[in-house]
Amino acid sequence: MLAYFLQQLINGLTLGSIYGLIAIGYTMVYGIIGMINFAHGEIFMIGAFVSVIAFLVLGALDITFIPLALLVVLLAAMVFTAAWGWTVERLAYRPLRGSFRLAPLISAIGMSIALQNFVQISQGARVKPIQPVIQGGVVLFTGDEGFTVVMSYLQIFIIILTVVLMAVFTWIITRTSLGRQQRACEQDRMMAGLVGVNVDRTISLTFVMGAVLAAVAGLMVTLQYGVVDFYIGFLAGMKAFTAAVLGGIGSLPGAMLGGILIGLIEAFWSAYFTIEYKDVAVFGVLVLVLIFRPTGLLGRPEVEKV
C-alpha cells in the first residue's frame, strides 16, 4: 500500500535525523583524535533531561508561547550539554592522550556509567513525561484504502532543524578558521601544534560541538516521544555509533547518511515485520556493510603516515 509506505518513509526520515545528529558527535571526535567517545550517548541523555526540566520550569512560569519556549529550551539544553561535553574531554581524554590507546576508551566508558548513575540518583529511575508541545500536522496523501499520510508539524520541525544544523556545521568545518584547525588536527596533531594551532582548545571545541548536536537530538526525542529516562542514552548512543560506522567513521555526510539509513531500516522493519527484531536488522545491515565495504558507505581508507 503506497500510503502506508509513504508514512513509514516520513517516520524513518524523522528518526534517522535524530540518529544522524548524535552520530556526527561520534564522527567528529574520531576524526580528530582517532577515539570513540563512548560517553556521547549519555551527553544526549542529559540533553533530553535538561529539555524536560526546562519545559517544566517554563510551565511553572506560565510561558506558553511555543516558539519562545522552544528557543529557551534549546538554548538551555545546548549550554548544559556543551558544559558536560567539555567536562568529558577534560576529565576522560586529555589526561590520557599520551597514554596507551585503550586508556581513554576505558575512561570514557567509566564516564558513561558515572553519568548514567548521576542522572539516576539526581532525577530518579522513573520515566519523566511531558505534555505534547507541538501538535497537529499536514495531510499529504490519502490512499485508495482510506489510509491517510500525515506529516506532523513536529516532524517538519525536526527535519528542517536537522538540515539547517547540517548546513551550519558544514560551513563551520569547511569555511572557518576553527574548521581549518580541526582539519589540521585530523591530519597531524603534532604538526598542527608546531604551526600555531591550539590543539587542546580545538579538541575541546570539537567535543563541545558534538555535545551541542546531541542536545538538539535530546530535545527532538523529548518532543517526539514525550518521555525520557536515565537509560535512553545507551541504546541511542549504540545506534548512533552504528550509524557513524555505517556511513563511514570520520565523515560528517556519512554520519548523517548512516543515521537516516538506520532510521529507515527501523521504520520499515517495524511496519512490515516483527518489531522485536528491528535492532537485529539494524546491526545485521551493519555487519553486511562492514564485510563488503569495511570503510563504510562514504568512508575513505586510512593512509598510514611513515
> Model confidence over 107-150: pLDDT tens digits?
988 999 999 999 999 998 899 989 888 888 998 878 767 788 89
Q: Decide: helix, strand or coil at residue 227.
A: strand
pLDDT at 74: 93
Work out the number of other CB atoms within 10 angstroms of the CB of residue 291.
8
Q: Is the pLDDT of residue 207 over 70?
A: yes
What is d(CA 51, CA 212) in angstroms, rounded to the nearest whole number?
13
Q: Is the pLDDT of residue 305 over 60?
A: no
What is d(CA 77, CA 46) in angstroms, rounded to the nearest whole number?
8
Question: For residue 166, which amino acid is it?
Answer: M
What is d(CA 131, CA 52) in angstroms, rounded to the nearest whole number?
10
Q: What are the pLDDT digits (tens) for 235-252?
A: 898 899 899 989 888 788
Band (pLDDT 50/70/90 cuts) for residue 55 is: very high
**In the numeric block, which cell numbers belong to residue 91?**
576529565
**In the numeric block, which cell numbers belong to residue 261?**
539509513
153-160 LR contacts (CB < 8 Å, sep 24+): 154/223, 154/224, 155/10, 155/11, 155/14, 157/223, 158/14, 158/17, 158/18, 158/220, 158/223, 158/224, 159/13, 159/14, 159/17
Determine what percent of the chain is predicted with pLDDT higher than 90: 46
Give the distance, in angstroms, between the CA of residue 178 and the centroid of all CA atoms in the same chain: 21
Q: Decide: helix, strand or coil at residue 148.
A: strand
